[in-house]
Chains A and B, each alone.
Chain A
């Protein structure tokens, strides 16, 4: 499975040579960063002994939140009078809500044998028989878990929101591919959309579009748009200049250049963007169940409200299969591989046969009165899963709880105390310095701005606590990711076994493993940390593995022939040469951990994430949005610090 392109494919320009030959120790960025950290800790100790506390002065945050709450109140009062709603939002709302319902009905009308036959045939035609088999298994899982209807609802929601995302995303991407100015203008917007936690914008969209399917469709589309725009732009830009110049010299109009040259040659890359969009949509429909979207996400929610982990896992499994099947189908279209090679003259008859088979299946099924898969014919795996979870808790519970306590006492509490207790100007200075060290003056400016922004939003204390949690989770993720990634690159058998596990980890909705984490580690920041690590680990492992495997064999041979040991080979040759991938892995790890901040609040992580959840649950737009924006600020800082050098070069 391709890694989610949170940072866009443009960020990965692969391994590049080290900038300069071994810099002096004092000039090493790591040494400088260490100095900054020492300054921060010393500053904290001095401030504490002088009785100076942390916190950010001023009431701008409160005023901002009150202003947002005012907007909320206005909308509630004016929803049925204001032309903005009567002629715009309510239209969109009705249209989208009805679209989801109609698609769902259509899937219902096709009956389960019909949907299965059409799905499998289509998958075979575009992606070959292996993928078709996978699609068949996926439908089998929907049926056997007793979640057929829910799966169809989810599918309807995904179809609707992916259509919206592509309807807006592809043209925007084409525009960004053709105009540098537009590209520069839209990039920060996309960055913002990708760092903003999905939970934080649920409430504004519910307010504008109404609870249930309409808001769910819009929110999912918004969440899924960025890769469509980014990768389309990248694809259009990647078209060889020579081809365009040749066409221009032949007198083609811009429209002809686009449709005859740019789009056809960028097609495969654009399809990969579509693939990413679909994957994001799949993960978002689960979150959208919080605002009343039905389907598989709702099934997970329902199981969890009874603390039935097994049942939740069952629904989670259906999501995983859905995600993997959709990924393989669209991925195969994108790569253009594995498509059955059918001579032109057989194509039309084949299509006709497929259509007839589908129609006959649907017809027969409808005559027999079949609709959804009968619920009685399902397999319940929740019993054994729950027994396993209980057994696990009994076996290692005491150990994990002790580990959790240790993490809190020794790592999280001290770090949180330093960040939250140090005087705010010192923290801002240190952040700026880190930005300058790792990313140059631009990153330094962004870092300073982000921290000031957090303060002005009035959530300084919470943000520092959240930052401490994010840092710890990221360090853990990256350390684990590098170790496992290296192992995976060394051993092909291990890699083959690990790959489906990573696929599942990446697509399994985090809701499913949050509760077992509480059972093992006790409520609070630790289970949130564990969940964040699980969520962020797969892409990091993949990137490390890809990076090391990408090292040219000739280089390795040269090093081996000079008598390098395995360890030397790894530390002196492979890791340095995979530096580009490693940096990207660090960056991805941080951003993914950050995106779990709100999820973590569901198991007691508190701080910014909790305020986002609380704002949503209690209709407090100001608090929820301000906390969401603060998370974006932290994200900008972490992002710029970890990939600043590339930005400066670009």
Chain B
């Protein structure tokens, strides 16, 4: 093991020298052959998936795994640059697929659904629905925007936006539904969650961008506002979006080179699919019980061999 690491360090050095003697393409950057480099986007659900996969790759398949914490858009860029091998939970981003996918420069490949289904929408706490039963309908919301007024927004209702890296069409929806709301950009997910928790504790009104699967859904009783469902093309003009967010079939994105190598690590990630419940089990351990994410992944892996055994590629021998 120790010797292996030395050899690897030497290998990196050799590769460096070799590379510096010719033109360098970004997708040829130095990299350990036995290492899988995974994007780690900033929400806990993603972290749960990534840590479970990393744990199995490390412990069962003897790979090194590098988890690189970056936002959604930059992770695509990193795939393009050859710095990352896989995004395990991608939410939409058709525009990026056009840019980097087979139709674009061909550096990214759609790896198919990972089994999780994503819902984005507008949420209010359940206690608010008890007080204003109609608040979860568009008409009810329209009439009651004044209850969301805060010092920050003055005489308009406050809509608490999501983290800047997330997929959003909120302003378009506010425009199209003609709501008297002003977006306050939370700026980061932890800030948004802290604020929602604070209001929840005081039973104050709050209307905010949120999504599922998300661990906070387990801690707080939240209700999604019913808006006209998504139809193809209704969100094309971001200035006016007269519909809710689409339901997302979350998918994996691979680096094209990683797919071509057809390594067992790739086949394992390709085989992997699991459900929202699986992800939430792990996410809850991380966020609610405060477990270290790798510990939470280990516990889940120990308890659920039937789920993950089939992901290991046929004929793979960990040696």
Bound together, the chains give a CA A610 to CA B161 distance in angstroms of 12
Set A206, A518, A603: member contacting B198, Cβ < 8 A: A518
Chain A residues near B244 (CB, 8 Å)? none
Assuming the contacts A91-B20, A95-B20, asked whether A79 and B81 have C-beta atoms less than 8 A apart, the reply is yes
Q: Is A255's CB within 8 Å of the partner chain B? A: no
* Contact-residue bracket for chain A: 35 or more
Q: Is A302's CB within 8 Å of the partner chain B? A: yes
- B198:A519 contact, CB within 8 angstroms: yes
- B73:A617 contact, CB within 8 angstroms: yes
- B165:A523 contact, CB within 8 angstroms: no
0/1 string, A71-108, CB within 8 A of B gives 1: 00000110110010111001101110110011001001
- B188:A603 contact, CB within 8 angstroms: yes
Chain B residues near A83 (CB, 8 Å)? 23
Find the B residue at minimum CB distance from A207: B77
Bound together, the chains give a CA A289 to CA B258 distance in angstroms of 25
Chain B residues near A210 (CB, 8 Å)? 26, 29, 78, 81, 83
Find the B residue at minimum CB distance from A619: B73
- A90:B194 contact, CB within 8 angstroms: no
- A206:B74 contact, CB within 8 angstroms: yes
Q: Is B319's CB within 8 Å of the partner chain A? A: no
Q: Is B61's CB within 8 Å of the partner chain A? A: no
- B9:A102 contact, CB within 8 angstroms: yes
Find the B residue at minimum CB distance from A366: B2
Interface centre among B9, B74, B286 (most CB of A within 10 A): B74
Chain A residues near B248 (CB, 8 Å)? none
Set B23, B30, B47, B105: member contacting A77, Cβ < 8 A: B105
Bound together, the chains give a CA A304 to CA B14 distance in angstroms of 39
Q: Is A219's CB within 8 Å of the partner chain B? A: no
Within 8 A of B (CB), among A606-631: 606, 609-610, 613-614, 616-619
0/1 string, A302-336, CB within 8 A of B gives 1: 10111110010000000000000000000000000
- A604:B70 contact, CB within 8 angstroms: no
Chain A residues near B286 (CB, 8 Å)? 306
Q: Is A294's CB within 8 Å of the partner chain B? A: yes
Chain A residues near B42 (CB, 8 Å)? 301, 305
Bound together, the chains give a CA A10 to CA B187 distance in angstroms of 37
Q: Is B249's CB within 8 Å of the partner chain A? A: no
Q: Report the interface size for chain B: residues with CB under 8 A from the other chain.
A: 62
Taking the closest CB of chain B, its distance from the CB of A372, in whole angstroms, is 13
Find the A residue at minimum CB distance from B1: A369
Assuming the contacts A292-B69, A307-B193, A604-B185, asked whether A85 and B12 have C-beta atoms less than 8 A apart, the reply is no
Chain B residues near A90 (CB, 8 Å)? 23-26, 29
Q: Is A43's CB within 8 Å of the partner chain B? A: no
- B187:A604 contact, CB within 8 angstroms: yes
Q: Is A397's CB within 8 Å of the partner chain B? A: yes
Chain A residues near B293 (CB, 8 Å)? 302
- A98:B30 contact, CB within 8 angstroms: yes
0/1 string, B35-51, CB within 8 A of A gives 1: 00000001110010000
Set B23, B30, B198: member contacting A86, Cβ < 8 A: B23
Q: Is B147's CB within 8 Å of the partner chain A? A: no
Q: Is B233's CB within 8 Å of the partner chain A? A: no
0/1 string, A364-393, CB within 8 A of B gives 1: 001001000000000000110000000001
Bound together, the chains give a CA A86 to CA B9 distance in angstroms of 24
- From A403-411, A546-554, A574-582, A585-593, the one touching the partner chain is A403-411
Chain B residues near A397 (CB, 8 Å)? 198
Bound together, the chains give a CA A613 to CA B71 distance in angstroms of 11
- A617:B71 contact, CB within 8 angstroms: yes
Q: Is B68's CB within 8 Å of the partner chain A? A: yes
Taking the closest CB of chain A, its distance from the CB of B175, in whole angstroms, is 18
Within 8 A of A (CB), among B3-21: 5-6, 9, 12-13, 16, 19-20
Q: Is B34's CB within 8 Å of the partner chain A? A: no
Interface centre among B71, B75, B189 (most CB of A within 10 A): B71
0/1 string, B49-82, CB within 8 A of A gives 1: 0000000000000000000111111110110110
Q: Is A605's CB within 8 Å of the partner chain B? A: yes
Q: Is B99's CB within 8 Å of the partner chain A? A: yes
- B163:A617 contact, CB within 8 angstroms: yes
Chain A residues near B185 (CB, 8 Å)? 601, 604, 606, 610, 614
0/1 string, A539-559, CB within 8 A of B gives 1: 000000000000000000000
Find the A residue at minimum CB distance from B165: A617
Set A80, A311, A525: member contacting B152, Cβ < 8 A: A525
- B70:A291 contact, CB within 8 angstroms: yes
Chain A residues near B314 (CB, 8 Å)? none
Q: Total number of A-B contacts with CB less than 8 angstroms?
A: 197
Set A206, A366, A605: member contacting B187, Cβ < 8 A: A605
Q: Is B287's CB within 8 Å of the partner chain A? A: yes
- A105:B9 contact, CB within 8 angstroms: yes
Chain B residues near A149 (CB, 8 Å)? none
Bound together, the chains give a CA A236 to CA B226 distance in angstroms of 69
Chain B residues near A353 (CB, 8 Å)? none
- A519:B188 contact, CB within 8 angstroms: no
Q: Is B103's CB within 8 Å of the partner chain A? A: no
Find the B residue at minimum CB distance from A79: B26
Assuming the contacts A80-B25, A617-B165, A618-B165, asked whether A603 and B151 have C-beta atoms less than 8 A apart, the reply is no
Assuming the contacts A305-B42, A617-B163, asked whether A602 and B187 have C-beta atoms less than 8 A apart, the reply is yes
Set B16, B23, B184, B287: member contacting A606, Cβ < 8 A: B184
Within 8 A of B (CB), among A48-70: none
Bound together, the chains give a CA A393 to CA B13 distance in angstroms of 52
- B190:A307 contact, CB within 8 angstroms: yes
Q: Is A440's CB within 8 Å of the partner chain B? A: no
Taking the closest CB of chain B, its distance from the CB of A454, in whole angstroms, is 20
Q: Is B146's CB within 8 Å of the partner chain A? A: no
- A515:B194 contact, CB within 8 angstroms: yes
Taking the closest CB of chain B, its distance from the CB of A302, in whole angstroms, is 7
Q: Is B160's CB within 8 Å of the partner chain A? A: yes
Assuming the contacts A305-B44, A404-B151, asked whether A518 and B195 have C-beta atoms less than 8 A apart, the reply is yes
Chain A residues near B220 (CB, 8 Å)? none
Chain A residues near B290 (CB, 8 Å)? 306, 308, 311, 382-383
Known: A76-B80, A108-B5, A306-B290. 16 other contacts (CB 8 A): A80-B27, A85-B26, A93-B24, A94-B30, A210-B78, A210-B81, A290-B71, A305-B44, A306-B190, A524-B150, A524-B184, A604-B186, A605-B187, A617-B71, A617-B165, A618-B165
A-B contact pairs, 29 of them (CB 8 A): A76-B105, A79-B80, A86-B24, A90-B24, A91-B20, A98-B13, A98-B30, A102-B9, A105-B9, A211-B70, A289-B69, A292-B68, A301-B69, A302-B293, A305-B47, A306-B190, A306-B286, A306-B290, A307-B193, A393-B198, A514-B188, A519-B198, A523-B184, A603-B188, A603-B191, A609-B187, A610-B187, A617-B72, A619-B77
Footprint of A on B, CB under 8 Å?
2, 5-6, 9, 12-13, 16, 19-20, 23-27, 29-30, 42-44, 47, 68-75, 77-78, 80-81, 83-84, 99, 105, 150-152, 154, 160, 163-165, 184-195, 197-198, 286-287, 290, 293
